[in-house]
Amino acid sequence: MISDGRPPFYGRTAIVTGGALGIGGGITRAFCRAGAKVVCVDNDEAAARRLASECDQSDAGQVEVLSGDVRDPSTAGRAVDAAGHVDILVNNVGDFRPPGRFANSTEEAWDTHYEINLKHVFRMTHAVLPSMLSGSAGSIVNVSTVEAFRGIPGNAVYSAFKAAVVAFTRSLAVEVGGHGIRVNAIAPDLADTPQTPAAAMLGGRDPELIESWVPLGRFGQPDDYAQVVLFLASDQARFITGQTLAVDGGTLAASGWYRRYQAKGWTNLPDRP
């Protein structure tokens, strides 16, 4: 709560792309709990409306649903119109599917990845900047991935565009910092969401193996990522810009080291039971 008892984001408006499910759903909920008006942009209108109903019944803020595909050039403008003045933008939408060898990929697939994973970040950011510039304030948080910092076989195009998100974050932060606008990003890993459910990631393996792969010993939940986004958008992070924070339970720091299965110590060769 702020000093007058109101929640910390009271009176602020946020746009969250892909804000209905998974990490995006967690971000929408977190901002709503913190008192913000959230424009939830999602092509799954039913899921977005379910979330809006839940938030409106129990939280301090409100959710306005905007049904739209981020690949549609009109969606960004519609989102800004719905928001009015924009204080916060979270470019959350991303999709690594379908995976496959680069040698077998097509230009059509490259274009789809570009539209979803990078161009939408450009388009939404370009649309909100006039509002932020006019108020000499604003926070933009982009969602990249740890795969921007390490190799991911079968997803070379995806990781390339997500690495571009990191570079865009860094450069834009320098460009607009003098106008009171901060630009940061998070890099998630192993998120237990509808797009990447824990059961699919385990693939029939013993769940106890998670402790071998993730130093913190579990997969991430949507609110784990949402709380970091909330921090980056808050006044607590007022002197942070141009940064990408890995929200990954320590997997990037481990850099290929694995806790030994049912034994002490670590190995750089994954154990198998």
Does some domain include residue 223?
yes
Q: Cis omega before residue 130 (within 30°)?
A: no
- For residue 185, what is the domain's CATH number? 3.40.50.720
Average pLDDT estimate for 106-119: 95
Catalytic residue among 10, 158, 225, 261: 158
Average pLDDT of the chain is 92
Cα separation, 135 vs 137, in Å, equals: 5
Total domain count, the chain: 1
Average pLDDT estimate for 47-65: 89
Q: How confident is the model at residue 270 (pLDDT cuts 50, 70, 90)?
A: low
Query: Which tokens belong to 55?
Result: 């938030």
Average pLDDT estimate for 44-51: 96
Does some domain include residue 270?
no
Does some domain include residue 53?
yes
Q: Which of 19-28, 118-127, 147-156, 203-212 has the lowest mean pLDDT?
A: 203-212
Residue that has been written with the tokens 């990631």 in this structure = 201
The predicted structure's pLDDT at residue 2: 55
Q: Is the pLDDT of residue 243 over 60?
A: yes
Range of the domain at 63: 13-198+219-251
pTM score, whole prediction: 0.93
Q: Is the pLDDT of residue 60 over 90?
A: no
Does some domain include residue 264?
no
Counting every residue written for the chain, the total comes to 273
Q: Between the CA of residue 16 and those of 45, 158, 212, what are the distances in Å?
A: 14, 21, 34
Average pLDDT estimate for 240-262: 89
Does some domain include residue 51?
yes
The predicted structure's pLDDT at residue 9: 96
Pairing of strands 138-143, 181-188: parallel
Average pLDDT estimate for 96-107: 86
Does some domain include residue 74?
yes
The predicted structure's pLDDT at residue 272: 60
114 is catalytic: no
The predicted structure's pLDDT at residue 260: 77
Average pLDDT estimate for 266-270: 72
Query: Which tokens belong to 95?
Result: 């999709």
Closest by CA to 142, choosing from 170, 103, 114, 115, is: 170
Specify the higher pLDDT residue, 57 or 10.
10
pLDDT tens string 4-47: 778 999 999 999 999 999 999 999 999 999 999 999 999 999 99
The predicted structure's pLDDT at residue 183: 99
Does some domain include residue 29?
yes
Does some domain include residue 61?
yes
Residue that has been written with the tokens 């974050």 in this structure = 169
Average pLDDT estimate for 127-153: 96
Closest by CA to 94, choosing from 157, 14, 28, 11, is: 157
Q: Is the pLDDT of residue 273 over 60?
A: no
- Please give, one letter per residue, the 3-state secondary structure of the chain: CCCCCCCCCCCCEEEEECCCCHHHHHHHHHHHHCCCEEEEEECCHHHHHHHHHHHHHHCCCEEEEEECCCCCHHHHHHHHHHHCCCCEEEECCCCCCCCCCHHHCCHHHHHHHHHHHHHHHHHHHHHHHHHHHHHCCEEEEEECCHHHCCCCCCCHHHHHHHHHHHHHHHHHHHHHHHHCEEEEEEEECCECCCCCCHHHHHCCCCHHHHHHHCCCCCCECHHHHHHHHHHHHCHHHCCCCCCEEEECCCHHHHCCCEECCCCCCEECCCCCC
Q: How confident is the model at residue 136 (pLDDT cuts 50, 70, 90)?
A: very high
